[in-house]
Amino acid sequence: MKRFSCFIFLLSALLLCSCGKSDKPKLTMVTEATFPPYEFRTGDKVDGIDPAIIRHIADTLGYELKIQDMSFDSVITAVQSGKADVAASGITVTEDRKKQINFTVPYVTAQQVVIVKDNSPIHTTEDLKKYTIGVQHGTTGDLFVTKNIKEPQRFANGALAVTALVSGKLDAVVIDGEPAQVYLSQQTGLRLLPRPLTSEEYAFAISKKNVKLLEDFNRVLNEMKANGLLDSIIRKYKEQNTETAADLLVEDSKYFWIGVKEAFELNFIKDKRYLYLWRGFLVTLYISFFAVLMGLVIGFVVALIRSTAIQTGRYKIPDFFCRMYLTVIRGTPVVVQLLIIYFVIFGSWDIDKVLVAVIAFGINSGAYVAEIFRAGIMSIDKGQMEAGRSLGLSYFQTMREIVIPQAFKNVLPALGNEFIVLLKETSVSGYIALQDLTKGGDIIRSQTYDAFFPLIAVALIYLAVVIFLSSLMGKLEKRLKENE
């Protein structure tokens, strides 16, 4: 127990220590990098119109820029909670959003447009009411369609919605105009409806508490507009994405006509995209391993307190808090717990996101491990305890030497199952800008618009790890039986 606790404490200390320091103050930007040409990934770098503009602003103001890639749903929350200084993800200025956040001066005018297939019977906005519409969750397109047309199907990002349209799961996709042009250039058989749904303006989101940063951003943005630099950046990335999309379309057509080899090269070899899966896999293993250790420690302590309280009537107050912990953790989704720990509990702390994930998943796992351990302890015949006490052993000595070893052997299959569940639960880490295995597959899919290969690759990697863990647990069970 003490060794486990010290190990986790040392890990936390190492994660909190930074590898190097810069004299410049940091400026943290949050975005979802699946929105070309405004933000997209090229290797490990997040690039696009928004990052390029903010890089210039950061250089002008003397900041060191740090970019975090997270779910679009979380970018404004990250700024509100102090986790980030500015959100830039093609964010439309709306009156509702103004109540929560400050916006800079607009830097571009955009439109919400409708993508359909070439042979689609949809020709006007009125036609949309009869068909299935896909949107990116939380966007102004989502709000407009919900309010004025019908309830849409919501996706985590625009790339997923377009993929669903191409595969026949949707009849139309409502999305911002510039990304729509990129998607159309990457996919054959799609067209835009002639009339856009709305006209809107993009701006950067900054916390209402950070008035000085808002003023500085507006000043530099106005200078960029005046000297033509803003128009130059926007024009450069629009042209660049058109060229890149044309290259990708050639590769994509090869996939349909030549087969699996070209599709494999497109999804994993081209631009070394396999590295997204490899790095994400390492992050997933790292989080899972240390969360398991933390969950074991928490679960064992809680189970010991609860079973002691049941058997002896002691520790009523600790038992009450343990029951509250179990009720809250098992009664709420793990993704909600992760967001609360990151944005609320550690909202004002500059803490490593990997450590946040380890804590969140460790606390979640501890609740289930506690009940598994308690069930194992309570399953041991009371005569075992009585025999130990009659030999002069104390209650805790009897638990340690007689009851717990037997209980551990009984609950080993259930513990193994909990570890496997925990491994798969880490797939929601992308909500706090962690690039885990699932997020790595999402990044590849957002670049190639091939849903099959990235998803199958992610599934096979998870399956291989689960088979390996199951094999280890089987060998451990066999070894314990031999020692009987």
Higher pLDDT pick, 125 / 350 = 125
pLDDT tens-digit map of 333-355: 999 999 999 988 987 787 888 99
Burial class (CB in 10 A: 0-12, 13-18, 19+), 260: exposed
Q: Which residues pair with 45 in a beta bridge?
A: 42
Residue 477 confidence (pLDDT): 77
Question: Tokens at residue 39, please?
Answer: 């933000």
Q: How would residue 24 be classed by pLDDT, with cut points 50, 70 and 90?
A: confident
Neighbours of 153 (CB within 10 A): 15
d(C-alpha 270, C-alpha 447), whole Å: 11
d(C-alpha 459, C-alpha 31), whole Å: 26
**What is the identity of the amino acid at 359?**
I
Mean per-residue pLDDT of the chain:
85
Residue 303 confidence (pLDDT): 93
Domains of the chain: 21-106+203-245 (3.40.190.10), 108-201 (3.40.190.10), 274-482 (1.10.3720.10)
d(C-alpha 210, C-alpha 112), whole Å: 30
In this predicted structure, the answer to whether residue 12 has a pLDDT above a threshold of 70 is no
Helix axis angle for 353-379 and 2-16, nearest 10°, is: 170
Q: How would residue 84 be classed by pLDDT, with cut points 50, 70 and 90?
A: very high
Convert 349-382 into a string of H (helix), E (strand) and C (coil).
Answer: CCCCHHHHHHHHHHHHHHHHHHHHHHHHHHHCCH
d(C-alpha 462, C-alpha 312), whole Å: 43
Dihedral of the alpha carbons of 133, 137, 140, 143, in degrees to the nearest 10: 70
Residue 10 confidence (pLDDT): 53
Q: Quick one: average pLDDT of 267-275? A: 85
Degrees to nearest 5, angle at CA 185 with 182 and 188 = 135
Residue 218 confidence (pLDDT): 96
Degrees to nearest 5, angle at CA 174 with 173 and 180 = 85
Burial class (CB in 10 A: 0-12, 13-18, 19+), 473: middle
d(C-alpha 159, C-alpha 366), whole Å: 36
d(C-alpha 354, C-alpha 7), whole Å: 16
Nearest to 249 by CA among 266, 236, 265, 235: 266
Question: Tokens at residue 169, please?
Answer: 């799961």
Q: Which of the residue ranges 20-29, 68-77, 145-154 has the most confident prediction, judged by mean pLDDT? A: 145-154
Q: How would residue 359 be classed by pLDDT, with cut points 50, 70 and 90?
A: very high
Residue 22 confidence (pLDDT): 55
Would you report the helix, strand and coil content of the chain in percent, each value rounded to 5? 65, 10, 25
Q: How would residue 29 be classed by pLDDT, with cut points 50, 70 and 90?
A: very high
d(C-alpha 165, C-alpha 184), whole Å: 12
DSSP of 89-158: SSPBP-HHHHTTSEE----EEEEEEEEEETT-S--STGGGGGS-EEEETTSHHHHHHHHHT-PPEEESSH
Q: Which residues pair with 174 in a beta bridge?
A: 114
d(C-alpha 114, C-alpha 164), whole Å: 14
In this predicted structure, the answer to whether residue 125 has a pLDDT above a threshold of 90 is no
pLDDT tens-digit map of 163-222: 889 888 899 999 988 888 888 877 788 999 999 998 899 999 999 999 999 999 999 999
The helix/strand/coil state of 74 is helix
In this predicted structure, the answer to whether residue 472 has a pLDDT above a threshold of 80 is yes
Residue 216 confidence (pLDDT): 96
pLDDT tens-digit map of 210-269: 999 999 999 999 999 999 999 999 999 888 765 554 444 444 444 444 457 777 887 888
**What is the identity of the amino acid at 407?**
A
Residue 221 confidence (pLDDT): 96
d(C-alpha 103, C-alpha 97), whole Å: 9
Q: Quick one: average pLDDT of 373-386? A: 85
d(C-alpha 234, C-alpha 232), whole Å: 6
Neighbours of 135 (CB within 10 A): 25
Higher pLDDT pick, 274 / 1 = 274
Residue 30 confidence (pLDDT): 94
Residue 15 confidence (pLDDT): 47
pLDDT tens-digit map of 133-161: 999 888 888 889 999 999 999 887 787 88
Residue 250 confidence (pLDDT): 43
Cα end-to-end span (Å), the chain: 24
Residue 397 confidence (pLDDT): 85
Nearest to 75 by CA among 159, 133, 137, 163: 137
Is the Cβ–Cβ distance between 136 and 72 less than 8 Å? yes
In this predicted structure, the answer to whether residue 11 has a pLDDT above a threshold of 80 is no
Is the Cβ–Cβ distance between 34 and 159 less than 8 Å? yes
Question: Tokens at residue 396, please?
Answer: 């805790």
Question: Tokens at residue 135, please?
Answer: 């949107």
- Number of residues that this document lists for the chain: 484
